[in-house]
Amino acid sequence: MPMFRRRERYAPANARLPGRTPRSVASVSRSPCHEGRVTKAVSRRRGGHVTEQAERVPEALLLDFGGVVLRSGHDLMGRLPARHPATTPVVERRGDFGSEPDELWERMLREEISERDYWSLRAREVGDMLGRDWDTRDFMAELYAGPPSGVLHPDALDLVADVRPTGVRLGVLTNDLAAFHGPEWIEQMDILREMDAIVDGSATGVLKPDPRAYRLAAEALGTPCDRILFLDDMPWNVAGARSVGMTAHQVDLTRPVAAFDLARRQLGLDAAA
């Protein structure tokens, strides 16, 4: 379980929210969400796309963390050669950000390996280049070192800051927060204290795009699925959210501002300057 101190506006998936009794994963199917099923057989085009969905008035904004609130690992890999020149060959192979094809990432997109497998293999590869025995957390500690301002999307920070005074509830639904990052690093992420709910698959054991993950988030937020706006960088996670009735959009990691601007419009906010 992520090592957070409790805040008035923060609770992990199994914490008691004000006035609410948390439900177990097994009981989440009674939440006001569609019975959804989702497959990863969705568009595999490089990069994301943003399309308008049914007109709704969201009562909650739910965000993926890595890639949406946090800059993606592929993005931050671009900084490695300045510190470790030996990593240049692998940095050329980093998903949509690389200059060379990333066959390992393509295998993940084809569902031959999981995303956790991808980053574990990358960690081992980069660690070997540096003569270090790295696991995923070690690699992430290297990528996400430094002050939070250097690893967070400024557009995400601005969106959260503008949403908070409106009364729209805020939440994070992530698969890998505690799996990828240590408690000390998580503790310094002040943006998480702005959230009304944080649901981490590392703790619940239920990973997107399993429909139960979205129902857990809806329960934690106290908001029906069809009143939740969700942003994620993986197309199958977007499809999973839509399968339970959420309005959901994919964030293009190479141009995330498009999805944030769309969210602003649907939340009744002005586009970012």
Return the exposure string of 125-144: e unless at least 16 CB atoms fall within 10 Å of the residue's CB, then b.
bbbebeeeebebbbbbbbbb
Query: Looking at residue 3, what is its pLDDT?
Result: 33
Whole-angstrom distance, CA of residue 87 vs CA of residue 106 = 20
150: which residues sit within 8 A by CB, 6+ positions away? none
Query: Looking at residue 57, what is its pLDDT?
Result: 75
pLDDT along the chain (273 residues), means of 10: 34 36 34 57 43 67 98 96 95 94 96 96 97 98 96 97 97 98 96 98 97 98 98 97 98 95 94 53
Count of Cβ atoms closer than 10 Å to residue 27 Cβ? 11
Amino acid identity of residue 104, one-letter, is L
Among 52, 69, 48, smallest CA distance to 250 is for 48
> Would you say 121 and 114 are in contact if contact means Cβ atoms under 8 Å apart?
no
Query: Looking at residue 45, what is its pLDDT?
Result: 39
3-state secondary structure of 249: strand
Whole-angstrom distance, CA of residue 108 vs CA of residue 126 = 18
Query: Looking at residue 270, what is its pLDDT?
Result: 78
Domains, the chain, in order of start with CATH, read 25-69+150-266 (3.40.50.1000), 73-143 (no CATH)
Which residues share a beta bridge with 250? 232
Whole-angstrom distance, CA of residue 88 vs CA of residue 176 = 26
For the entire predicted model, the pTM comes to 0.82
Query: Looking at residue 272, what is its pLDDT?
Result: 53
